[in-house]
Amino acid sequence: MIRFVIALMPMCLWSVFGSGQDSIPTTVSTPKDTTWFFTGINTLNFSQVALKNWSGGGQSAISGTALISHKLTYRKGKTLWESQLNLAYGVQQADKIGTRKTDDRIELITTYGKEAFGKWYYTSSAQFRSQFSPGYNYPNDSVVISNFLAPGYVQVMVGLENKIRDCFLVFVAPLTAKYTIVNDRALSAYGAFGVDPGKRFRQEYGGSVRTQYSCPIMENVQLSAQLDLFSNYVRKPFNIDVNGQAILSCKVNKYISTSIAANLIYDDDIKITEDKDADGVPELIGPRTQFKEVFNLGIQYSL
């Protein structure tokens, strides 16, 4: 046995030293995959007001909002593929009013591009927008004015995209198809959201422009904005559909954040009713500028 070990030692020494410096074990770092990039923000916000015998008046209330924004990017050679998911839902519980939702949004965008020339890409994109739960004509909570897939919007675009800077892009799509879904019997019968009464689907063909901006404007302060414009080539091409969104977010520390978001929409096919004298009979019915503003302070977790 001893002779076998003595005979084996030269072979072991040769395997360590005899094969040269390259055979000495070294620490090897695995290169990081630079073709896929993932970013994500999850935010949970709460607010609460408690009043009892309060001479100034008011109502006790509690509210909460959940926000999710994730983005996945694939970049390799002349190929660029980006997908983004944005979800939001908020509710409020108040005395004498009950529970009402304050925010409700589903948005999925995926964009695929091939480098054309300079910073321009031949690009195709698909976008889906809808909401999670029914919306009511408050204070009448028995009349549903919106629901999941009522409306639902699907928009498919083909054109050229230019990343002017890392934080700013412009997408010009002269070929755009816009589909409106109203998967609710009552709303479909009414002809809501531009569909013909009794129909649940409407298609439009035209051109669109999308601009996006996302960049820090100072330390721990981020501004993100998106503007979508659509023109129907066949019906009233100068009545441009507008959907603009902007979010200003501030990171207080690793887990605490605050944000203010604004959303402006104008769609000539969406008729808004207005009951000025609150008699239950609307005096005005027609397209109007829609605006929503949400301020949040809460817990944020970034991926």
Per residue in 61-75, pLDDT tens? 899 999 999 999 999
> Per-residue confidence at 9, pLDDT binned at 50, 70, 90?
very low
| pLDDT, tens digit, 9 for 90 and up, residues 73-120 | 999 989 999 999 999 999 999 887 889 999 999 999 999 999 998 889
> For the segment 241-250, what is each residue's pLDDT rounded down to a tens digit?
999 999 998 9
Choose the weakest-confidence range: 21-25, 229-233, 242-246. Answer: 21-25
Domains of the chain in start order, with CATH, are 32-51+58-302 (2.40.230)
**Res. 285 pLDDT band, cuts 50 70 90:** confident
What is the per-residue pLDDT for 20? Answer: 43
Please state, for a pLDDT cut of 70, what percent of the chain lies above it.
86
What is the pTM for the complete model shown? 0.82
pLDDT band at 286, cuts 50/70/90? confident
Backbone torsion region of residue 39, taken as left when φ is above 0, otherwise alpha when ψ lies between -120 and 50, otherwise beta: beta
Share the mean pLDDT of the chain.
Answer: 85
The predicted structure's pLDDT at residue 165: 77
The first and second tokens of residue 48, run together, are: 């609460």
Task: Flag whether pLDDT at 232 surpasses 50.
Answer: yes
Q: Which tops the pLDDT comparison, 33 or 232?
A: 232
φ, ψ (nearest 5 deg) of residue 281: -115, 115
Separation CA 122–CA 112 (nearest Å): 8
Q: How far apart, in whole angstroms, are the C-alpha atoms of residue 199 and residue 225?
A: 34
Q: How confident is the model at residue 281 (pLDDT cuts 50, 70, 90)?
A: low
